[in-house]
Amino acid sequence: MYPKPILSLSTCQIRHYCDEDIDSLSRAANNPQIAKWMRNTFPSPYTTEDARKWISELASPYDFVICTPDGSTLMGGVGLKKRSDIHHRTMEIGYWVGEEHWGKGIASEVVKAFAEWAFAEYDSLLRLEGEVFEGNAGSCRVLEKAACNKNDLLLIMKMLSVGWYCRCISIPTPPSLLQVHLCHVADWDIAVLLSGNHILKTRQGKFQLCGNLRRCPEWRVICLTWVSGGESKIAANNTAPEVFVLTSRLLRLNPEYYTVWNDRRRLLICGSLSAPSAGSSPSRALPTSSPTDTTTLSSAVSSSSSSTTTQPYQDLQKTGWSGTTVDDGIKTREDTIRSELAFTIPLLMEFPKCYWIWNYRLWVLGKAVELLDRVVSRGIWTEELGLVGKMLTRDRRNFHAWGYRRHVVAQLESAALSPDGKSPESLVVSEFEYTSKMIRVDLSNFSAWHNRSKLIPRLLDERQADDVARRKFLEDELNLVREALNVGPEDQSLWYYHQFLMLNLFDAVDSSAIAPNLNVSERVAYVTRELDDIKDLLEDYEDIKWLYEALLEYTVALAKLESRSLT
């Protein structure tokens, strides 16, 4: 009995895999003409065992069979793969059809119908992408046919040194240009199609907007950005303040739009955060990023009968969008930097593991070092350290925040932020105490243990600790983690830190060792004591694998220290 189809089309059915598909899958897929356009996970030759393994082990709930209309014979496959964005709002569509079924329109019908089914089936799905290897013109045509309807955005890029690369992004109805964002074209002969009649075309390096799109208020153009000769340019420079406001709206919808973050950087660099020049007055800043931005872009492009004129990116850097006259309401560079930092805070609260927010925030802080007075800049970075502390109180194990904290501390310790005439101030003692505080709150905080291990060599060096002090420090750390293991021997993070300490006893002496001058007998005594403690834990916790792994690893290391063979 074959599974019930999810789609019944004129040329085929689409359903889940079953064991009856093994033979027909191995026959249809065993073709080098198919495998050469697939990724490396597609075997070639494709054996019966490969088919059995795929159906029984590897196929996901998002993988489906393309079969004959009666459902009995496999003709190909189609499926979805989740992208890496936080909420899995983007998926990639993949498909293949056996060679005997090529040229019959099966793939075109399947991709189009399957995409519509996916949007209806998965509520979180907002974007569907398809990628094609260079030279696979047939699949390019399949994506083009699937994309050229009112629900889709199609972007085809012709890379001169690579060949054809097709990227098709589908967006469900009703589409919003806030979701579509920017179209990047690398070749002026390529047309960008926005939802059926709403077509934005390029002709000889200029944009032309068709009438239906221009008149539709839901489809106002946010920003026209393109790449030409490896240098970015921004169209319609007189609308930059409005474009800046709209980037805020876009990023609140989805901060994973890393291209929008880059465009926001360009707008700031060309405006209030432009590099100062001799004899120039401060430039006018872009609008604030308040939660109530309502500005629309009414003049981003010209009418369909005229072309948008542009200014080179370098010219924009020289002049900014608002001139160089200072008047009431103009924000200083410090105001702009603080405003941008404030803009990212609610985004970080909602998306604490989004790389692009953290990267942008670091870029803004870097501009503070570059453009502001050293005292003012240090104050901003000090406030940033306090903010990271508050964020880690809310989410103690967020490794993004811990890595970010290390970067902030490194900047505060750098000469660039040191008061004039003073040596950089070390924060290693306070940071080590901070890890102790976080560990007391949560013994399972792997990031806190990791940060602690990175601080120890510097801490001992700055204390100018002698051999006695170093030995005492090692004993204190071993006692700390031993007490923690007595409470939670199943905690992997504790064993990682315990292993870090033990490696100081096993490895060859180096400059980063906690107690490099311990002799062999002292090292053997430490290891023997730890082995005895692990054996004691095993009496109460027989089902924890970390105990057995540590016992095995440390026993082997002890034999090496004693220069004896294992029996």
- Residues 53-76 have pLDDT tens digits of 999 988 889 999 999 999 999 999
Whole-number percent of the chain with pLDDT over 70: 71
Asked if 225 and 270 count as a contact pair (C-beta separation under 8 A), the reply is: no
**What is the structure's pLDDT at 88?**
66
**What is the structure's pLDDT at 147?**
61
Residue 304 CB-density burial (10 A; 0-12 exposed, 13-18 middle, 19+ buried): middle
Rank 50-54, 139-143, 414-418, 422-426 by mean pLDDT and report only the highest.
Answer: 50-54
453 domain residue, yes or no = no
- The count of other CB atoms within 10 Å of the CB of residue 422 is 8
Last residue of a domain, one of 129, 154, 177: 129
192 domain residue, yes or no = no
Structure tokens at 567: 């029996």
**What is the structure's pLDDT at 175?**
32
15 domain residue, yes or no = yes
Last residue of a domain, one of 113, 129, 145: 129
Asked if 273 and 264 count as a contact pair (C-beta separation under 8 A), the reply is: no
Asked if 165 and 155 count as a contact pair (C-beta separation under 8 A), the reply is: no
- Backbone phi and psi for residue 420, each to the nearest 5 degrees, phi listed first: -55, 130
Kindly give, in sequence order, each residue whose CB lies less than 8 Å from that of residue 460, ignoring residues fewer than 6 positions away: 469, 470, 473, 514
Whole-number percent of the chain with pLDDT over 90: 36
558, containing H or E segment: helix 545-561
387 domain residue, yes or no = no
HSE-CB at 494 with a 13 A cutoff on CA atoms is 21
Residue type, 460: L
Give the pLDDT band of residue 239 (cuts 50, 70, 90): very low
302 domain residue, yes or no = no
pLDDT, one tens digit per residue, over 117-142 is: 988 898 877 777 777 776 787 887 78
Looking at the predicted structure, is the pLDDT value of residue 204 above 50? no
How far apart CA 281 and CA 496 sit, in angstroms, is: 55
541 domain residue, yes or no = yes
CATH number for the domain that contains residue 16: 3.40.630.30
Looking at the predicted structure, is the pLDDT value of residue 168 above 60? no
Q: Which residues of 460-482 are buried (b: 16+ CB within 10 A; e: fewer)?
A: beeeebeeeebbebbeebbebbb
Last residue of a domain, one of 129, 145, 180: 129
pLDDT, one tens digit per residue, over 9-63 is: 999 999 999 999 999 999 999 999 998 888 778 888 999 999 999 999 888 899 9
Structural domain that includes position 76: 1-129
Indicate the number of domains in the chain.
2
| Mean pLDDT (whole number) for 385-408 | 87
117 domain residue, yes or no = yes
**What is the structure's pLDDT at 511?**
56
46 domain residue, yes or no = yes
Specify the range with the lowest mean pLDDT, choosing from 143-152, 165-174, 251-260: 165-174
| Mean pLDDT (whole number) for 78-102 | 84
**What is the structure's pLDDT at 302?**
28
**What is the structure's pLDDT at 187?**
26
**What is the structure's pLDDT at 44?**
87
The reported pTM is: 0.51
